[in-house]
C-alpha cells in the first residue's frame, strides 16, 4: 500500500471514529426534565444508563432524550464497518457478495441453489428440470 493511500485511509478512519464518538456521546442541554424536587433539572441528550454514564431515570419517568441511532461508539463502528460476508454465510462453495447491510450468495457452478446455496440442484431428467421454476444457479455454463 502506498503512503498516500494509507494516509487517506487513516484520515477516513479517524473521521468516522470521531463521527461515531460524537453520535454516541452524551450532551447536556438546559431544558427541564420531568423530575421534580431537589434533583437537577436537566435533560441529558444521548445518555445511556446501562453504560455507567449520567443516570437518566427519575422514578419510572425517563429524563433522557436519545436522538442517536447508536447506543455506543462501538455499535456505530460495527454498523459502519461490518462485513456481512465474514464469516461466509454461503454454503457449498457459494460466493458471498455484500449489498449494503445485506448479502447475496452467488451459487452458479456449485451444484446448489437457494439463498445460501443450501439446496441441491435437481438431477437431470427430474420434473423440476422441465419446470419454468428451474433454478438459474443450476444452469452450468461453459
If one compares 65 and 81, the residue with the highest pLDDT of the two is 81
Per-residue pLDDT band for 46 (boundaries 50, 70, 90) equals: very low
CA 44 to chain centre: 26
- Chain-centre distance for alpha carbon 99: 12
Alpha helices in the chain (DSSP H): 3-24, 73-81
State mean pLDDT over 48-73.
49
pLDDT digits (tens, 9 = 90+) for 79-128: 666 788 988 999 999 999 988 778 999 999 999 999 999 999 887 777 66
Q: Residue 79 contacts by C-beta under 8 Å, 6 or more apart in sequence?
A: 69, 70
Residues facing 102 on adjacent strands:
99
pLDDT score for 124: 75
* Alpha carbon separation from 69 to 20, 25, 115 (Å, rounded): 10, 12, 29
pTM of the model: 0.44
Rounded average pLDDT over 65-70: 54
- Give the confidence band of 141 by pLDDT, cuts at 50, 70, 90: low
Higher pLDDT, 46 or 83: 83
Nearest Cα to Cα of residue 65 among 74, 56, 76: 56
Which has the higher per-residue pLDDT, 48 or 88? Answer: 88
Average pLDDT, integer, range 42-50: 43
Question: To the nearest whole percent, how much of the chain has pLDDT over 90?
Answer: 18
Amino acid at each position: 500500500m502506498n503512503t498516500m493511500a494509507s494516509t487517506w485511509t487513516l484520515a477516513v478512519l479517524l473521521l468516522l471514529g470521531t463521527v461515531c464518538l460524537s453520535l454516541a456521546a452524551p450532551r447536556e442541554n438546559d431544558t427541564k426534565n420531568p423530575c421534580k424536587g431537589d434533583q437537577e433539572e436537566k435533560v441529558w441528550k444521548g445518555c445511556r444508563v446501562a453504560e455507567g454514564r449520567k443516570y437518566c431515570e427519575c422514578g419510572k419517568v425517563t429524563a433522557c432524550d436519545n436522538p442517536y441511532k447508536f447506543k455506543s461508539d462501538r455499535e456505530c463502528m460495527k454498523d459502519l464497518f461490518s462485513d456481512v460476508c465474514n464469516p461466509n454465510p454461503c454454503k457449498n462453495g457459494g460466493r458471498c457478495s455484500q449489498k449494503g447491510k445485506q448479502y447475496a450468495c452467488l451459487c452458479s457452478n456449485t451444484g446448489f441453489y437457494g439463498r445460501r446455496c443450501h439446496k441441491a440442484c435437481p438431477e437431470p431428467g427430474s420434473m423440476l428440470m422441465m419446470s419454468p421454476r428451474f433454478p438459474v444457479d443450476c444452469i452450468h455454463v461453459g
